[in-house]
Amino acid sequence: MLLDELERLFVAEGFTHLSVANLAARLRVSRSTLYRLATGKQELAELVISRMLDRMDESGRAALEKSADPAARVAACLGNGTAPVRTGGLEFSRDLEANPGTRAICDRRQALVMAVLEGLVEDGVRSGGFRPVPAALVVQVADAAHTRLRDAAVLAALGMTHAEAIDALAGILLDGISGPGTTVPRPDDPEG
């Protein structure tokens, strides 16, 4: 599908440097085909990013439903669906943040994820899976860290992709809130 091809291209190379004419040539379609999807490059970028994040949200919801373990649920919430952008480079991260429209889409998604995270931490504390920590504080820390990790300069300094940095953040947060004897899910763990 054309939107899948656009997404792969954006994730691999970023999108700021590409014009509608470039995209049409690279995808071997006419510009009018792209203009049927969106009125211009900005709307096209927003469509592709919204669609990608919607799929990531579906993946995250499915992962949350699969597990009753509080740590696995928090790991799924924080890293939900980062697989589609695991190959995304710094150009992609930079373009997402530099573009006001795509940044606003990412901001809205991050706010939704943080609201879910708060409920998951509260549930984990109630069930005894997490030590008694204020869920609102965990969310503030996660939100601030997540925001910093969206900055391509920060990712470059860390030598990490966004997905790798979010996986590391999830591990750090879970190590801090998990009760004794809790196994912290790792991204390479198919059960986590």
Specify the pLDDT at position 130.
93
Please tell me the least confidently modeled range out of 17-21, 29-33, 183-187.
183-187
Q: What does the domain layout of the chain look like in residue ranges?
A: 2-177
Query: Rounded to whole angstroms, how far apart are CA atoms 60 and 81?
Result: 6
Q: Are 147 and 154 in contact (CB under 8 A)?
A: no
Q: Is the pLDDT of residue 54 over 90?
A: no
The tens digit of pLDDT for each residue in 28-45 reads 999 999 999 999 999 999
pLDDT confidence bin for 87, thresholds 50/70/90:
low
Q: Is the pLDDT of residue 190 over 50?
A: no
Mean pLDDT of 38-67: 88
Specify the pLDDT at position 28.
96
Q: Is the pLDDT of residue 149 over 80?
A: yes
Please tell me the least confidently modeled range out of 8-12, 91-95, 125-129.
91-95
Mean pLDDT of 115-131: 93
Identify how many contiguous H helices and E strands the chain contains and give both numbers. 10, 0
Specify the pLDDT at position 109.
87
Mean pLDDT of 97-116: 91
Specify the pLDDT at position 4.
94
Q: Is the pLDDT of residue 12 over 60?
A: yes
Q: Is the pLDDT of residue 85 over 60?
A: no
Specify the pLDDT at position 138.
94
Query: Rounded to whole angstroms, how far apart are CA atoms 108 and 120?
Result: 19
Question: In 3D, which of 133, 46, 116 has the Cα closest to residue 81?
Answer: 116
Q: What is the pTM of this model?
A: 0.81
Q: Which fold has domain 2-177?
A: Tetracycline Repressor; domain 2 (1.10.357)
> Which one is predicted more confidently, 191 or 2?
2
> Which one is predicted more confidently, 188 or 57?
57
- Other CB atoms within a 10 A radius of the CB of residue 31 amount to 13
Give, rounded to a whole angstrom, the gap between the first and last alpha carbons of the chain. 31
Query: Rounded to whole angstroms, how far apart are CA atoms 178 and 36?
Result: 49
